[in-house]
Amino acid sequence: MDGLQGVQARVAEIQSLMMPRPTPVARSTGTETTTFSAALEAATTAVSGAPVGVPTAAQRLAPGEYGRLEPPAELTQYGNGQIPADALTPIGIGSHRLYQPAAEAFVRMRSDAAAAGVDIGITDSYRSYDQQVRLAEEKGLYSNGGLAATPGRSNHGWGLATDLDLDDTAQQWMRDNGWKYGFVEDTPREPWHWAYRPAAIV
């Protein structure tokens, strides 16, 4: 059991002994967020020694069932594909960058996969608007049977999506574990495309 799972198990134990369960709050975007009481937050901080945030695990749905990804306001101020480099975070592989929470989750996920003997490679991350236009010209629009999102609508343009280089073992590892880090296979016909879609972005 890793550190995060241990903390979660301990919090669940404390919660079951001392407090009522938190109430789920449904969102119209197809995601789910759980609100935590102040007491639970205090218990989590006491156990983990770290600031308390909203869980970053994602719902486990089939590709195509996630609905539209709503980017955080701090990204929408720039526009899709217009995010400056210093507003994104390197993930330690080439020049690949993502939105900071996604980058941090990706680094943890890749490290844990490596510890399990699984290699997660990456071929694409943040994609500028110009790159989206070029890809649409080369690959065709997804809506027309191609592989590219309409320029300006790609989740890559928010720094919230990756295209991964996965062998069969890594693909299965991602399907079993990626959601725990907020990454999900959300697009039909694109098993390499993994978007950061946690229940809530901290």
Whether 169 shows a pLDDT value over 80: the answer reads yes
Whether 34 shows a pLDDT value over 90: the answer reads no
Whether 38 shows a pLDDT value over 50: the answer reads no
Q: How many domains does the chain have?
A: 2
Q: What range defines the domain where residue 166 resides?
A: 61-196
In this predicted model, what pLDDT tens digit does every residue of 53-103 receive, in sequence order?
A: 445 799 999 999 999 999 999 999 999 999 999 999 999 999 999 999 999
3-state secondary structure of 98: strand
Whether 115 shows a pLDDT value over 70: the answer reads yes
Stretch 176-181: mean pLDDT: 96
What's the pLDDT at 11? 46
- What is the token pair recorded at 12? 């669940």
Same domain, 168 and 83: yes
Phi, psi at residue 26, to the nearest 5°? -80, 145
Same domain, 73 and 49: no
CB atoms within 10 A of CB 152: 13
Stretch 2-11: mean pLDDT: 53
What's the pLDDT at 5? 56
Whether 23 shows a pLDDT value over 60: the answer reads no
Same domain, 70 and 92: yes
CA distances from 53 to 79, 81, 173, 184, 187 (A): 26, 28, 26, 20, 27
What's the pLDDT at 43? 30
Average pLDDT, the chain: 80
Whether 27 shows a pLDDT value over 50: the answer reads no
Helices (H), 50-99: 73-76
Q: Grade residue 199 by pLDDT with cuts at 50, 70 and 90.
A: confident
What's the pLDDT at 73? 92
Same domain, 80 and 134: yes
DSSP string, 113-169: HHHTT---EEEE----HHHHHHHHHHH-BGGGTSSBPPTT--GGGGT-EEEEE--HH
The share of the chain scoring above pLDDT 90, in percent, equals 69
Residues near 170 by Cβ (< 8 Å), separated by ≥ 6? 113, 118, 119, 120, 121, 164
Can you give the pTM of this predicted structure?
0.72
113 or 4, greater pLDDT: 113
Same domain, 99 and 159: yes
Same domain, 48 and 76: no
Domain assignment of residue 98, yes or no: yes
What's the pLDDT at 8? 55
Residues near 97 by Cβ (< 8 Å), separated by ≥ 6? 85, 88, 89, 90, 91, 103, 125, 126, 159
Asked if residues 194 and 184 have their Cβ atoms less than 8 Å apart, the reply is yes
Domain assignment of residue 201, yes or no: no
- 164: buried, middle or exposed (CB in 10 Å: 19+, 13-18, 0-12)? buried
In this predicted model, what pLDDT tens digit does every residue of 121-158 receive, in sequence order?
A: 999 999 999 999 999 999 999 999 999 999 999 999 99
